Amino acid sequence: ILFDYRILITWFRITFTKIKDVFKRIGNIFISTVSVS
């Protein structure tokens, strides 16, 4: 079976964007927590 690499690339981009967004949120929470303390 020939695997369509475009599907893999699209899935990877979506996953990478989600992970980046999660890290951004965690970073903002961490920064705000440190600032308050």
pLDDT tens for 1-37 read 677 899 999 999 999 999 999 999 999 999 999 887 6
The domain total for the chain is 1
For position 35, what pLDDT does the model report?
84
Supply the range of the domain harboring residue 11.
1-37
Q: Which residue has the tokens 């695997």?
A: 3
Dig out the tokens for 8 from the structure: 């893999």
